[in-house]
Structure 1
């Protein structure tokens, strides 16, 4: 019986400790292969099209040849380079791309007119709720998601240092972190070996790329996510809390 055929209560009672122990030192492709084999329907990838996300997409689509739906949150404030990469990835992988965004506006200008100029400066939590948290939860619900795949690694930030590979999110879904036990060096090694496309901003001092107005380059020696929400006292946007 696959996970997709059992109830949400049964999902919550999965032996995650056993799964995490078994796959603690596994290659991401092994973790993703388990996911594809055991979650027949309701498996999605969430992607901001950062390099770790692209690695996962490459394994799913090229190696495993499995067209997992890919959720992309169009916040309206992405870098041009990010949006160009999304289009390029669509062509290369024939992505089953699912784009979700705020419902009542469709441009930065309309967003400013409705919610005020530079809302992130006035209320960063509301900005993220509108542009990321609500669209993601809507997308997961509409796709009848049982389990979702993220590109998080433990070495990205201290807040992720103890992150398991398999966990249950606040809504009773399985959250899969296939890169949890990998390092930034390993990610880039895979990208180089397999010729995976990536955002050119990664080569310009942006190891982690979010919304253009609140993402800055990172100096040598800084945490790779130090450029996200610099000066806001945040380490996460709220999606993974």
Structure 2
């Protein structure tokens, strides 16, 4: 069985999963965007296969990432409980409505909004020292973030992390908490999908992304713990702006 594995191809997928998870673990977003882009644009994987692969892998990488953030004390458990149930409710609702929602129409508007948020966070990090505040809008944000993640094929991290940071939440614990909640969200959305997909889902792409993502997860949590708050804010702004504008370009082209 091992002799049939294309080790060079597997190594490419491992590298893609590692790179995507390092960014996602440290900044609370972009695993799906980065890994999908690398799979389709660089490694030549068909878009539908790439989407399915990323979806399966996230069920595992978010779990490891959440545990790593908890061990590094990056999780605000009060915020966690206020996000997790609305997030799951929004995710399940989005999954049920996926067939009737034209995500290709709504996605460019959502991504344009997130690009604007990214520019604001970048400006705030560069021009104003962040002043930590207790976020007030949490449950509705979790509901909307979960819905968009399921119905639009991604968006939990960019929507929830960025909007909590706009409200003045501390970057380190916000990133850690949103990553930890994402595990429960992803599992709730993916349960039926995984049940029907079975062992056939575990292609070379999935295996590579899974290995790379799990290896990288502890490092992302470690980076989030040690990078200064202002630097995290700037990095989130940069990544959110670039990935959102790229998604708008792909949607409109």
Q: Shared fold by TM > 0.5?
A: no
Structure 1-normalised TM-score? 0.27
Q: Which has the higher contact order (CA 8 A, sep 6+)?
A: 2
Q: Which has the higher strand share?
A: 1
Structure 2-normalised TM-score? 0.26
Q: Which has the higher helix share?
A: 2
